[in-house]
Amino acid sequence: MTDDEPCCRICFDTADSSANPLFRPCHCAGTSAWVHVECLDTWRRTSVNKRSFYECDACKFKYKFGARVGDQIFVARLLSTAGAIHALALCLGSLIGWASSALGLTGMHHARFVVGDWFGPGTLRGADRDNAFGHVVALVAIAAGLCIAFYWIYSSLE
């Protein structure tokens, strides 16, 4: 080991690998500048000082945490927000509703009243024109079901 070769300030090892790289997480200089990712994570978790989790003990620099591509914790945290669940439910519900309507499955032709007909001019034709009350009841039932579902989802997040 030479003086200018990076050395981990925790384990004093100079090995640098892609799985556990040496990096500079803060403003410390000299022999305290470099640390392995795993060594720092272990130090952050096991230190008696609670501030060690988010800042350097020596220079008090607050660590910058960034999401990596494919970071499962970041994805889980993102999907646990109410807005993300609402957006996913809205997209999936719309997709399922439109697909069922287009295929004529399960009586979902009522969705055409709201979004228009993909295969025609968008107006109600035939017997559907006379059954506006049925459309209103179906829309109210769908809205009530969505409200109940979102209430359950939001309450389970807390």
Average pLDDT over the chain, rounded to whole? 74
For 112-149, how does the pLDDT look when each residue is reduced to its tens digit (9 = 90+)? 555 444 445 545 454 455 456 666 677 777 878 788 87
Residue with tokens 């957006």: 87
The answer to whether the CB of 100 falls within 8 A of the CB of 108 is yes
* Residues 7/14, Cβ–Cβ less than 8 Å: yes
Residue 80, CA distances (Å) to 27, 32, 65, 148, 154 in order: 34, 37, 19, 18, 10
- Tell me the domain boundaries of the chain: 1-65, 73-157
Percent of the chain with pLDDT over 90: 11
Taking the model in full, what pTM does it have?
0.41
Question: Each residue of 84-100: pLDDT tens digit?
Answer: 877 878 887 777 766 66
Coil vs helix vs strand at 1: coil
The alpha-helical segments, DSSP class H, found in the chain are 37-46, 72-79, 82-103, 112-115, 132-157
| Class of domain 1-65 (CATH, top level) | alpha beta
- Amino acid residing at 10: I
Confidence of residue 80 (pLDDT cuts 50, 70, 90): confident
